[in-house]
């Protein structure tokens, strides 16, 4: 996917740290906002048959109110584990997660989550799915329905309120999942590779939807992905993680202006940021496919390559 | 279409053996005893014996016995069984104390229903509980796993000693035969529910009882329903054994009695009837199921009627057809 030029640079790219005054001002304002999510020295060790495996090694990070944070890294760097710990689905073995000034102990309504797999309840309609959080939170059926309808409108699926999940496309399911999570009005929305199973076209649409929704809702987003373009396109800041054990490599401030537009995907600043992330995550391993032993299983005369 | 064929094939085979004289027919049904003194009209004689007697009669110039090829008495022809099916509901039983076929069947249904309802009443909740919370699974499943291997009929004598000789021990055997399987099967079904659904519910604020009632129960109800249909088949299997315990009763009593009278067509009629009841109840339950659970995607199994309608609609062009969403 990345540009082909290695050392022979065609176009001199700017430094990814070169922010316009406008963007720098934006970050200054973000850091003035209160800290919503405080991840302090979080570590996670899994006990396996082959002994303990460290998945996360002392991660510390603070997210400010209404920030959109992307977590990125190669597979196995513990980025999903981090999201699950913030959600309360897994407990850290060391350190702690603070939401505001309260420590996270188990899942709760103040942190919504959208999973990579489709987790809509198949026996509930779109409307009933979105009502779930409100129902278990003790809202009356009437007010829950009213609120749920609003959230379904927010994600643009008003016409499908009565549909069952199996009648929806993958992208629509994830939009319902977002509405369902937001209906509880959580302070943090965790998204664990939510668009990972979608095709490229739908994924791009969903990124647009997410940015629109995020703009009108008071919520801090922690978005896990392995797609570099997605991370740069969406995030205010990017948590870049490395594997074995999962640790924080760098927190990158994305120098792109908001509102984001698809045209920015080709801007030099975008490419510079992306190149930097690539170097951080894959280092020298970029596009080194090991040579496979040479066998030939075809009799066809013409070589394909 | 093939479903109908799957029934026609064995039926054709049965008709072939019954109606084509040179296929099998190891006996001769005597119509005219002739000069052979121990032959009687209506008697079945082995083909070789008949041939030998006939040859001897020919040699000695005596009058010949007449007969036609026949199958053993335990293999009645389809039409005989069909007639027996019909008459079983119309003809009073031989002895006034004996039950009608429908009474026997009714009694069997009562026993099977009681046994199955009792086992489901306890088994379904316990199964879901075991499947949702590992704690319950750990304290019950090893024992159930052990008990499941004990054959239910082995408890026959015990059941009679404790519960008497009438319906209770029979219900108990059906219960023992299905309950233990049921808990384990349903627990497994529950465990197969996507754990991400529970996690999603937890992040939405559901507590333990809400997880159970709002996720586990509705989440498994479709598969549970299918499980119960399969388990009902198990209950039928145990019915026949159960009815032999204590005083023989129900359809088993009818079968035994008719076999004793050598009315094998009635025996077949009763066995076929059990099959028909089993099959039709399953089909009906399946229909009810698809009406009960509107969220299950139509399982791409177009019915014969629907495919004919589709075909006709496609020919009469211009007419819009409403397709089922895939």
Chain B residues with beta carbon closer than 8 angstroms to that of A133: 204-205
Cβ contact A155:A176 at 8 Å? yes
Distance from C-alpha of B285 to C-alpha of A287, rounded to nearest angstrom: 58
Cβ contact B19:B77 at 8 Å? yes
Question: Which region among A99-113, B10-24, B229-243, B287-301 has the lowest average model confidence (pLDDT)?
Answer: B287-301
Q: Which residue in chain A is spatially nearest to B299 when comparing CA positions?
A: A166
Query: What number is the ipTM of this complex?
Result: 0.85
The kind and range of the H/E element at A203 are: helix A200-216
> Tell me, what's the pLDDT at B295?
83
Of B196, B210, B293, the CB nearest to A136: B210
What's the pLDDT tens digit per position in B265-275? 888 888 888 88
The kind and range of the H/E element at B188 are: helix B167-191
Cβ contact A196:A181 at 8 Å? no
Residue identified by tokens 């003194």 is B37
C-alpha pair distances (Å), B188 with each of A18, A68, B51, B182: 57, 41, 63, 10
The residue among B322 and B220 whose pLDDT is bigger is: B220
Under 8 Å CB-to-CB from A122, ≥6 apart: which residues?
A164, A165, A166, B219, B295, B296
The kind and range of the H/E element at A160 are: none
Instruction: Note the residue count of chain B.
Output: 326
**pLDDT band, residue B298 (cuts 50/70/90):** low
Q: What is the CATH number of domain B90-297?
A: 1.10.3720.10
Chain A residues with beta carbon closer than 8 angstroms to that of B326: none
What is the average per-residue pLDDT within B162-187?
91
> Tell me, what's the pLDDT at A1?
43
| B298–chain A Cβ distance below 8 A for any pair | no
What is the average per-residue pLDDT within B266-285?
87
Q: Is the confidence at residue B321, as pLDDT, over 60?
A: no
Distance from C-alpha of A253 to C-alpha of A237, rounded to nearest angstrom: 4
Cβ contact A220:A187 at 8 Å? yes
Mean pLDDT by 10 residues, chain A (305 residues): 48 78 88 92 90 89 93 88 93 92 89 93 94 91 92 92 92 94 93 92 92 92 93 93 88 88 89 90 66 75 72
Distance from C-alpha of A146 to C-alpha of B117, rounded to nearest angstrom: 41
For B52, half-sphere exposure in the C-beta direction (CA atoms, 13 angstrom radius) is 5
DSSP of B208-229? HHHIIIIIIHHHHHHHHHHHHH
Listed residue (B26, B20, B53, B55) closest to B38, CA to CA: B53
The residue among B142 and B36 whose pLDDT is bigger is: B142
List the structure tokens of B303.
């019915």
**pLDDT band, residue B300 (cuts 50/70/90):** very low
Chain A residues with beta carbon closer than 8 angstroms to that of B203: 87-89, 107-108, 111-113, 181, 190
Of B197, B206, B325, the CB nearest to A119: B197
> Tell me, what's the pLDDT at A148?
93
Q: Cβ of A135 and B205 within 8 Å? A: no
Of B204, B215, B218, the CB nearest to A184: B204
What is the average per-residue pLDDT within B81-99?
79
Q: Cβ of A136 and B201 within 8 Å? A: yes
> Tell me, what's the pLDDT at A285?
56
The DSSP call for residue B47 is H
Distance from C-alpha of B194 to C-alpha of B215, rounded to nearest angstrom: 10
> Tell me, what's the pLDDT at A16?
80
List the structure tokens of B136.
């319950």
Q: Is the confidence at residue B199, as pLDDT, over 90?
A: yes
> Tell me, what's the pLDDT at A3?
47
> Tell me, what's the pLDDT at A111?
94
Number of H helices, E strands in chain A: 8, 10
Q: Which residue in chain B is spatially nearest to A190 when comparing CA positions?
A: B203
Residue ranges of chain B assigned to CATH 1.10.3720.10: 90-297
Chain A residues with beta carbon closer than 8 angstroms to that of B294: 164
Strand pairing of B44-46 and B27-32? antiparallel
Distance from C-alpha of B249 to C-alpha of B235, rounded to nearest angstrom: 16
> Tell me, what's the pLDDT at B317?
47
DSSP of B63-118? PPPEEEEE--TTS--HHHHHHHHHHHHHSPPSSTTSPPHHHHHHHHHHHHHHHHHH
């Amino acid at each position: 996917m990345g540009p082909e030029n290695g050392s022979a640079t065609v176009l001199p790219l700017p430094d990814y740290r070169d922010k316009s005054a406008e963007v720098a001002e934006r970050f200054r304002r973000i850091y003035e906002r209160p800290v919503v999510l405080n991840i302090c020295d979080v570590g996670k060790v899994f006990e396996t048959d082959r002994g303990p495996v460290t998945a996360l090694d002392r991660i510390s990070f603070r997210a400010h109110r209404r920030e959109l944070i992307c977590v990125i890294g190669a597979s196995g760097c513990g980025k999903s584990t981090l999201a699950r710990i913030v959600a309360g689905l897994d407990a850290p073995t060391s350190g702690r997660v603070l939401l505001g000034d309260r420590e996270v102990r188990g899942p709760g309504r103040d942190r919504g989550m959208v999973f990579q797999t489709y987790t809509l309840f198949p026996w509930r309609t779109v409307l009933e799915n979105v009502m779930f959080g409100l129902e278990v939170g003790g809202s009356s059926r009437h007010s829950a329905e009213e609120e749920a309808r609003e959230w379904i409108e927010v994600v643009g699926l008003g016409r499908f309120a009565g549909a069952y999940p199996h009648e929806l496309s993958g992208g629509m399911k994830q939009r319902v999942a977002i509405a369902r999570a937001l209906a509880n009005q959580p302070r943090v929305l965790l998204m664990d590779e939510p668009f990972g199973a979608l095709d490229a076209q739908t994924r791009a649409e969903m990124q647009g939807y997410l940015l629109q929704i995020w703009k009108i809702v008071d919520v801090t987003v922690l978005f896990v992905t392995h797609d570099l373009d997605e991370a740069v396109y969406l995030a205010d800041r990017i948590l870049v993680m490395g594997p074995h054990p999962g640790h924080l490599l760098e927190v990158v401030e994305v120098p792109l202006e908001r509102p984001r537009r698809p045209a920015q995907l080709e801007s030099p600043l975008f490419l510079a940021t992306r190149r930097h992330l690539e170097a951080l995550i894959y280092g020298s391993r970029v596009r080194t496919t090991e040579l496979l032993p040479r066998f030939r299983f075809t009799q066809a005369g013409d070589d394909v390559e | 279409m093939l479903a109908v064929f799957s029934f026609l094939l064995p039926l054709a085979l049965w008709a072939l053996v019954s109606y084509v004289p040179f296929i099998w027919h190891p006996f001769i049904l005597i119509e005219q005893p002739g000069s052979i003194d121990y032959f009687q009209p209506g008697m079945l004689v082995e083909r070789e014996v008949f041939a030998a007697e006939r040859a001897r009669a020919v040699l000695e110039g005596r009058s010949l016995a007449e007969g036609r090829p026949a199958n053993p008495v335990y293999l009645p022809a389809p039409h005989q069984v069909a007639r027996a099916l019909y008459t079983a509901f119309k003809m009073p039983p031989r002895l006034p104390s004996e039950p009608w076929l429908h009474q026997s069947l009714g009694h069997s249904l009562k026993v099977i229903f009681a046994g199955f309802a009792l086992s489901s009443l306890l088994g379904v909740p316990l199964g879901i509980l075991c499947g949702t919370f590992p704690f319950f699974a750990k304290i019950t499943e090893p024992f159930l796993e052990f008990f499941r291997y004990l054959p239910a009929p082995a408890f026959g004598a015990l059941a009679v000693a404790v519960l008497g000789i009438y319906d209770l021990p029979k219900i108990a055997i059906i219960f023992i035969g299905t309950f233990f399987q049921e808990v384990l099967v349903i627990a497994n079904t529950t465990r197969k529910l996507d754990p991400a659904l529970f996690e999603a519910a937890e992040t939405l604020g559901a507590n333990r009882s809400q997880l159970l009632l709002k996720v586990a129960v509705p989440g498994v109800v479709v598969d549970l329903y299918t499980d119960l249909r399969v388990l009902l088949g198990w209950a039928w299997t145990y019915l026949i054994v159960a009815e032999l315990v204590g005083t023989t009763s129900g359809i088993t009593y009818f079968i035994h009695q008719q076999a004793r009278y050598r009315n094998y067509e009635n025996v077949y009629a009763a066995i076929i009837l059990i099959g028909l009841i089993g099959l039709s109840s399953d089909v009906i339950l399946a229909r009810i199921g698809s009406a009960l659970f509107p969220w299950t995607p139509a399982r791409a199994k177009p019915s014969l009627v629907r495919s004919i309608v589709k075909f006709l609609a496609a020919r009469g062009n211009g007419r819009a057809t409403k397709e089922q969403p895939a």
